[in-house]
Amino acid sequence: MSFKIKTILLLIIVSLAPYIITMIILGNAYRSDLEARLVSEMEYQLDITISRLDQSLQTLENDLRFIASLDIMNDVFTSDLDQRIFNLLLQKKSDLQLIGDFHVIDNNATVIASSNIERVGSSSIGVRFITIPVYSTFDQSQIAELVVEYDRENLSRLFANDEYLKYSLLANQELAANQYQIEDSLRVQGNLERRPEYTVLLEQDREFAFSILDSLARSFYFTLLIGIVVIAGIAVLVANYIVGPILLLATTARSVTNTQDYSQRVEVKRADEIGQLAGAFNLMISGIQDMLSRLKEESENKIKLAQEKHRTEMLQNLSTKLSKYLSPQIYESIFSGEKDVTLGASRKKLTVFFSDIVNFTSTTDQMESEDLTLLLNQYLNEMTRIALQYGATVDKYIGDAIMIFFGDPGTQGVHKDAQLCVEMAIAMQKRVRELRDEWQAAGFTKPFNIRVGIHTGYCTVGNFGTENRMDYTIIGSAVNLASRIESSAEPETIFISEDTYLLVRDHFDCLPASTVMPKGLSQPIQLYRVQTEVDQSQSTILDEDGFHLRVQPREINPQSKQRIQQLLQKLADDLKESD
C-alpha cells in the first residue's frame, strides 16, 4: 500500500473517527434517552388530558350542583308539573352536548324530571355516573337526587387522537385485559382523580415515536456520506500536497540514478519541511554533482599525471638509453638545460684525444664474432669508464677507435684539460695492459695494443646535422691533426702534439718523437712521446715460446721479492737440469 493511500486512509479515519464516535455515542445516548423523554412527554400530555377530563367532570358536577341548588328544583314537590326542571335539564344537556341524560329522582326513586322525557315516571335508570342530592330551598331537606347517566364518550371525545397517538379511557378491568389500540407502542397511563376507577391510557406508536431518530440517523448517514466524500477529497488533496513532492523527489532520484544526470533539480517552492527536504535533496545532488565534477577533474588530472609520469618514465628510460650514446657531460648539459638542443656551434680550445687498437683488423679476423664483441665491448667500456672518471667528453666510437675531447661542455682550463687528457691516456694504457693479462688468462692469444694521439687546438664544437638528426661533436683541423698524431704513434705509446706538450711538460716526462706533416701546413709538427710508467720501470721483457716474462720492479712489494727470487732460482735450476 502506497504512502499516499495510507495518508488518505489515515486522514479519513482521523477526520471521521471523532465524528463517527461522537455520532454513535450521541445516537445511543439519544436513543436511550429518547424513550424516556417521549414517555415523559407523554406523561405530561397525559397529565394535561387527565386534568382536562377531571376538569370536565368537575365542571359537570359543578353544573349539577348548581342545578340542584336552583329554586326551580322545588318543582320536585309538584312533580315538575310545569316541566321547568325538564326544560332546564334539556337545556343543560344541549349546552353540554351530553351523551347521556340527567334525571331527577325523588325520594321514592321515581324519575320526576329527566332530559329524556320518556324516562319520567320510570323508577329505574342506568348507571349513576354522578349523583347530586337536591335539597329544598326552604328547609334544606333532601327532596330528590340529580343523577347523570354518563357515557364515556363524553370524556373520550376530548382526546386529541391521531394516527400515532391514541388516548383510551378504560375501566380498570378493561386495562387489565390489555385492550390496547396500538400493538407496539409506548404507553403511559393515569387514573382520573375524580374517577379513579377509570384509567386514561396514552399510546404512541413506537415506530412513529422513533421516526425522528430514524430521520436523524438518515441525516447522520447522509451527512456522514457527504463528510466521507468531502474529507476523502480533502485527504486526496492533502495527500497530494504531502506526497506529491516526495514522489517528485523519488522520480527525480530515480531519474538521476538512471541517467546519471546530476544537473537535475526538484522544483518544490515551499517553506515547510518538505520544501526543506527538497532543498536538502537539491543541495545533496548539487554536492554530488560538484564532487563528481571534482572527481572527474581529479581523475583526468590523475590520468594526465599518469600519462605524464609514464611519458616522463619513458623519457627517462629513453634518456637513460640515449645517455648510453652520449657523453655524460653532454647528457647532463642537455638535460640540465645548460645547452639547447639546437643547431649551433662555438669555437673553443680543446684537447682532442684519439686512440685505436693496433692492427685491430688483422687481430680480430681470427676471432669469433662473439669473442670479438665481448672483447671490444669490454675494452670500450673500460676506456669509457676511465674517460668519464677524468671528466672527458667521449665524442664517438669509430669502430675500435675512440674520439675524446676535454674542454666542452665543462672545462677546467686549457692546461688542466690537457693534463687530465694525458693522465687519462696513461691510465688507459695501464688498464689495457691489465686487460691484456686478463685476456691472455682467458685464452685470447693475441691481445690488443693501443696507441694514443693527443693534440690541443681550437675546434668548432656544437650540434651539427639537421633539426631532426644532429650530433654533438667537434670539427676542425685540430681534430684531424689529433687523428694524424694517433696514426703516427707507436703501439702502446702516447704521442702528443707540441701544443699539448707545452701545456703538460711540467707534469710529464716527454721525449721528442717523430714529426708529422699535417695537411695544409707547410711546416711539420714535432711530436712528443709521453713517458709512461712502463717506459720508466719495465726493465725486462721476454716473450718466447713457452715462456713469457714481464717485470715491473716498482710494483713488486718487499714481501713478494723473496718469493720471486725463489721462483726464478727454481726456474733456472729446473732449466739447467733439463739440459
Partner 1 sequence: MRIATLLILLMLTPLLYAADYAVVVARSSQITRLEIDNIKDIFLRKRNFESGIKLVPVNLLGDDAMRRNFEQEILQMDRETISRYWVSNHFQGISPPATQASLLSIKLFVERVEGAIGYLPLEMIDSELKVLYEF
Q: Shortest approach of partner 1 to residue 81 CB, angstroms?
A: 4
Pairing of strands 510-516, 525-530: antiparallel
- Give the number of other Cβ atoms within 10 Å of residue 168's Cβ: 21
> Which residues sit at the interface with partner 1, rule CB under 8 A?
71, 74-75, 77-79, 81-82, 84, 136-139
Under DSSP, is residue 512 helix (H, G, I), strand (E, B) or coil? strand
Cis before 409 (ω within 30): yes
Which amino acid is residue 471, in one-letter code?
A: D
Under DSSP, the state recorded for 122 is -
Please tell me the distance from the alpha carbon of residue 537 to that of residue 522, in angstroms, as a whole number. Answer: 38
- Give the number of other Cβ atoms within 10 Å of residue 3's Cβ: 13
Q: Shortest approach of partner 1 to residue 79 CB, angstroms?
A: 7
Closer Cβ to partner 1, 77 or 458, answer by number? 77
Closer Cβ to partner 1, 145 or 205, answer by number? 145
Beta strands, E only, 384-469:
393-398, 401-406, 450-465
Q: Shortest approach of partner 1 to residue 110 CB, angstroms?
A: 14
Please tell me the distance from the alpha carbon of residue 109 to that of residue 466, in angstroms, as a whole number. Answer: 177
Per-residue cell: 87: 326544560
Please tell me the distance from the alpha carbon of residue 366 to that of residue 370, in angstroms, as a whole number. Answer: 12
Instruction: Check: CB of residue 352 under 8 Å from CB of residue 405.
Output: yes
Q: Shortest approach of partner 1 to residue 136 CB, angstroms?
A: 8
Please tell me the distance from the alpha carbon of residue 49 to that of residue 158, in angstroms, as a whole number. Answer: 8
Q: Shortest approach of partner 1 to residue 65 CB, angstroms?
A: 17
In 3D space, the residue among 269, 278, 276 whose CA is nearest the CA of residue 251 turns out to be 278
DSSP 357-406: ETTHHHHHTTS-HHHHHHHHHHHHHHHHHHHHHTT-EEEEEETTEEEEEE
Q: Shortest approach of partner 1 to residue 150 CB, angstroms?
A: 29
Output the CA angle 510-515-518, nearest 5 degrees. 125
Q: Shortest approach of partner 1 to residue 69 CB, angstroms?
A: 11
Closer Cβ to partner 1, 138 or 547, answer by number? 138
Under DSSP, is residue 506 helix (H, G, I), strand (E, B) or coil? coil
CA distances from 334 to 9, 397, 552 (A): 84, 20, 44
Closer Cβ to partner 1, 75 or 356, answer by number? 75
Closer Cβ to partner 1, 72 or 224, answer by number? 72
